Structure 1
Amino acid sequence: MPLNLEQPKRKTGISLTPLIDVVFILLLFFMLTSSFVPWRIVDTPLAVSSAPKADAEPKGVAVLTLESNDGRVLFKNQLFVIDNASQMSDLVEQNQDKTIAIKAKEGVTLQSLMLLADQLKLLGAENISIANAFSSKETK
């Protein structure tokens, strides 16, 4: 009678250890190859040309000039601040029947421009326009 020295085969299961190793290696790869770039300011042609124009304000249009990113607005040589709701509300009420055109000075971001437009809309302005969004510096 022959001697059976083979041990009974155990049921083999799928080991998850290599799978977890591969997942961690992929995670490490994507973490090291991705770049963490901070948000950047969108460069737009919003700046008013440096040479002042001698044109008078068109009839039915109130031109606001956004002076800086901190919310200073110039209208008819009078300085307004976006955060001052009563001042801005008076400005909108005085020009309710006009189109409000917004110009931006050099260095003003698109975010600041949109913040001003949103504030004017919230205060009841119906017609708002970005006056020089598509003007180039060569155009005079």
Structure 2
Amino acid sequence: MPRDARRRRRAVGLTSLIDVIFLLLLFFMLASSFTRYQVTPVTAGIAGGGAEARPALLRVHDATRLDLNGAPVPAETLAERLEALGQGATRSVAIWTGEGARVQDLVSAVSAVRLAGLAPIVLSDGAGGGPR
């Protein structure tokens, strides 16, 4: 075989690469959601920040056990009790979580506080280690 006889390199076909890129683009466009999620503004407690009025204390043990200022409150009547607090001098609520609290329980409590018109919400992790 002579040395001059070289193999010709084939040109790389980009058609299949473009097809794959188009399919990936189509997949990610269809799999994505362009809706805005509801945002709940939350403020964290700051050491030495002070407050005008002492916040109410809401302890979330789990989905069925809640304490408001140390008194047990059924989940069904939480909204009414929070609205009554909002008419007084209390404008903020410190939410503590227990060992059995899940993230959904905490989110439900935060939503109830926001619907009652109380703000800001001070989230605090209790001795239980926080929601799961």
- The TM-score, its normalising length taken from structure 1, stands at 0.45
Q: Rg: which structure is higher?
A: 1
Of structures 1 and 2, the one scoring higher in RCO (CA 8 A, sep 6+) is: 1
